[in-house]
């Protein structure tokens, strides 16, 4: 289970350290370097939280598939018989747990493509700094909404 309080505390401590370095920097170049370090710290925390949300989604999809495979009527379970959660793309898994076109699905789409993938593919400047407490609360809400 995700321990958001522990992560929040660790984030605040590390952000405060880098914030102090940024505040104490004497030259604009040095200030920018520390601001970038702070941004990387934000993004690293984001990736960690998102990875935990991905894990939650994997578990929920596996549960859903197991439940559907165990349906008594063959007509109900036939579509699920060959379903393998490790062969389903991430956004398809999200679509199994939330309705496409609705708020939860759309927000997951944005967080996955514009944040998670952008950071993972090195497009860190486009993502910029992330305020982790707000985003962590949002991911917590999304995890609650994405259930089998």
Is there binding between residue 30 and other proteins (CB under 8 A)? no
Q: How far apart are CA 91 and CA 133, in angstroms?
A: 24
134 is a contact residue toward other proteins (CB under 8 A): yes
Q: Count the Cβ atoms, other than its own, within 10 Å of residue 23.
A: 9
**Using CB atoms within 10 A of its CB, is residue 139 exposed (0-12), middle (13-18) or buried (19+)?**
buried
Is 140 a residue that touches other proteins (CB under 8 A)? no
Q: Does residue 40 interact with other proteins by CB under 8 A?
A: no
Distance CA 18, CA 14 (A): 6
- Residue 110 CB, shortest distance to other proteins, in Å, is 5
Instruction: For residue 141, state whether it binds other proteins (rule: CB under 8 A).
Output: no
Q: Closer CB to other proteins, residue 12 or residue 59?
A: 12
Angle between helices 28-69 and 4-24 (to 10 degrees): 170
55, 102, 120, 147: which one contacts other proteins (CB under 8 A)?
102
* Listed residue (145, 147, 141, 146) closest to 4, CA to CA: 141
User: Applying CB under 8 A, which residues contact other proteins?
Assistant: 5, 8-9, 12-13, 15-17, 19-20, 22-24, 28, 31-32, 35, 38, 42, 100-102, 105-106, 109-110, 113-115, 118, 125-135, 138
């Amino acid at each position: 289970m995700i321990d958001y309080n522990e992560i929040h505390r660790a984030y605040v401590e590390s952000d405060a350290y880098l914030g102090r370095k940024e505040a104490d920097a004497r030259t604009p170049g040095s200030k920018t370097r520390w601001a970038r370090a702070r941004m990387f710290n934000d993004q690293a925390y984001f990736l960690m939280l998102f990875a935990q949300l991905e894990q939650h989604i994997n578990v929920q999809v596996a549960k859903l598939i197991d439940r559907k495979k165990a349906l008594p009527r063959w007509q109900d379970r036939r579509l699920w018989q060959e379903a393998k959660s490790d062969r389903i793309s991430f956004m398809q898994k999200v679509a199994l747990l939330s309705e496409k076109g609705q708020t939860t699905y759309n927000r997951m789409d944005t967080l996955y493509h514009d944040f998670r993938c952008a950071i993972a593919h090195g497009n860190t400047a486009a993502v910029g700094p992330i305020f982790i407490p707000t985003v962590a609360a949002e991911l917590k809400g999304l995890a609650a909404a994405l259930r089998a």
